[in-house]
């Protein structure tokens, strides 16, 4: 169940962001986006509780991490967070801006962003020893 949730988290986030926009633009009843946000937020909490702290980090040799590269270079090379993480984060932020930061219609977008952040955390590939020589 948790593996399936981790695998489908980006799809759930995309559907939730689209639903938030659709609800805001059509003026859906407020209880609908709030209920949807509770469900997606619960999924984010479930995923984080199940896999958030138990992620075993690989050592530098297993990942092929070069000691001369900084964390930022590692991330920009696309070797840290899962593919599509920054694109989902961008569209999550855009959806929050379009629906209004504090509106009831933004709550699903906030929950989807939380799910995306948790998905990125549980699927990261960083070296276990993060000390640098710089």
Query: Per-residue pLDDT tens for 80-112?
Result: 778 888 899 999 999 999 999 999 999 999 999
The dihedral built from the CA positions of residue 73, 79, 84 and 88, taken in this order, carries a sign that is negative
Please give the backbone phi and psi of residue 133, each rounded to the nearest 5 degrees, phi first: -95, 0
- The pTM (predicted TM-score) of the whole model is 0.78
Residue pair 3/119 in contact by the 8 Å Cβ criterion = no
Q: What is the DSSP letter of 12?
A: H
Tens digit of pLDDT for each residue in 17-74? 999 999 999 999 999 999 999 999 999 999 998 886 655 555 555 555 555 556 666 6
């Amino acid at each position: 169940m948790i593996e399936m949730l981790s695998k489908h988290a980006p799809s759930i986030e995309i559907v939730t962001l689209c639903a938030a926009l659709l609800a805001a633009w059509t003026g859906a009843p407020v209880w609908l986006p709030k209920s949807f946000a509770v469900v997606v937020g619960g999924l984010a909490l479930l995923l984080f509780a199940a896999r958030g702290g138990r992620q075993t980090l690989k050592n530098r040799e297993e990942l092929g991490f070069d000691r001369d590269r900084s964390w930022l270079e590692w991330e920009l090379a696309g070797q840290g967070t899962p593919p599509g993480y920054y694109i989902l984060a961008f569209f999550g932020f855009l959806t929050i801006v379009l629906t209004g930061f504090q509106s009831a219609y933004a709550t699903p977008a906030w929950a989807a962003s939380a799910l995306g952040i948790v998905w990125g955390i549980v699927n990261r590939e960083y070296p276990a020893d993060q000390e640098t020589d710089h």
